[in-house]
Amino acid sequence: MKPINVGLLGLGTVGGGTLTVLRRNAEEITRRAGREIRVVRAAVRDLEKAKALAGDLPLTINPFDVVDDPEIDIVVELIGGLEPARELVLQAIHNGKHVVTANKHLVAKYGNEIFAAAQAKGVMVAFEAAVAGGIPIIKALREGLTANRIEWLAGIINGTSNFILTEMRDKGAAFADVLKQAQALGYAEADPTFDIEGIDAAHKLTILSAIAFGIPMQFDKAYTEGISKLTREDVQYAEELGYRIKLLGIARRAEAGIELRVHPTLIPERRLIANVDGAMNAVLVKGDAVGSTLYYGAGAGAEPTASAVVADLVDVTRLHTADPHHRVPHLAFQPDQLSDTPILPMDEVRTAYYLRLRAFDRPGVLADITRILADSNISIDAMVQKEPAEGEVQVNIILLTHITVEKNVNAAIAKIEALDTVAGKVMRIRLEELASK
């Protein structure tokens, strides 16, 4: 049977890993796909740098040479970013080629446009590698859990932030110090904003939520809060209370819409996902029929991500000649069956909270704080007052609340901060039990 010809856009970390895996496992992959998958051309930025890896593979510095090549059946986009990636992907689709991409930013922002173009042209766009590296979470949601009504999902889907939080907990280090270490080890970019401020996780959560709930991509409506304001004291206090702090992406069905949020979260330490450490990723999915399922593995790296890219290549190869109407839809639901369920504003989200504040050690202070919380319909689950250090007149007070509405907490925090007995800002971290029931 005629081989499937593949063109690579990018031969960096993931592109190089993809080429390596395809070459090393060529026989196994052919047996699984039913025909040979052959890389016939690659577009690169630096020809000299790429030659050692490429060997006799034809190279070009013009990516349009790949997307316009009539011999190529599948274009693999691994250059990242929005442009020219978007233009190249749309051109490949226009040329009747299938597309495989690892570009979460592109899919989260322009997925609706790209999928519509692919649907009209009868080609496939596969993007397993865009979320959680080598973990097959897209396939699990789109196919393995298709019998379920997904109730919620929660994921550690950014390895950099998870590494930082693990080091802060294990070594008692400050955020800034661990960030420098992460950059030195190559876990964090020189500009780490996308990772530490939750933007990267929000891209991935946008994709997961669309597949889980059958809604369009809506990255602009995702609430995003990073880890840069977390202190080692909060990490330590959470541990003392039986919790771990993780940067979570959470998508949940609620009565009035869908929650779509990324933020630091306290999780009970007994939960499996609370024990996912270092740069590893994990996604917890709750379906009505199956209950809770956990997917764990390497969320980045050359060969883990290449594993997902090659799996997509095999899928596309198997379905290459299939009737487009009988393929698995891009977002799991048929395109004309996507829901217009709204994304909830963050003010309307219901969850529990960890509140830390610094107050003067005087009579009546706690009474004032608890009165404000009660007036805002917030009930307290637990409260700890730390002993003041010698010579200090201020103490740390930690409160855990029961589930309440975010806007009530915002109002209460504003009133607490206005008290002349409270110094500085209230630290607020959301708390999720992630129970299976």
- Residues annotated as catalytic are 204
Output phi, psi for 140, to 5 deg.
-60, -45
Angle at which helix 13-24 crosses helix 26-33, to 10 degrees, equals 80
> Angle CA(371)–CA(373)–CA(378) in degrees, nearest 5?
135
Compute the distance between CA of residue 382 and CA of residue 268 in angstroms, rounded to an integer: 14
Q: How many residues does the chain have?
A: 437
Compute the distance between CA of residue 253 and CA of residue 255 in angstroms, rounded to an integer: 7
Compute the distance between CA of residue 104 and CA of residue 106 in angstroms, rounded to an integer: 5
Compute the distance between CA of residue 352 and CA of residue 315 in angstroms, rounded to an integer: 42
Q: What is the dihedral of CA 372, 373, 375, 376, to 10 degrees?
A: 120
In 3D space, the residue among 384, 116, 378 whose CA is nearest the CA of residue 242 turns out to be 384
Compute the distance between CA of residue 127 and CA of residue 148 in angstroms, rounded to an integer: 22
At residue 286, what is the residue type?
K
Q: Quick check: 158 and 199 in contact, CB under 8 A? A: no
Output phi, psi for 310, to 5 deg.
-70, -35
Strand partners, 259: 252
3-state secondary structure 32-86: HHCCCEEEEEEECCCHHHHHHHHCCCCEECCCHHHHCCCCCCEEEECCCCCCCHH
- Count the neighbouring beta carbons within 10 Å of the beta carbon of residue 417: 13
Alpha carbon 179 to its chain's center: 19
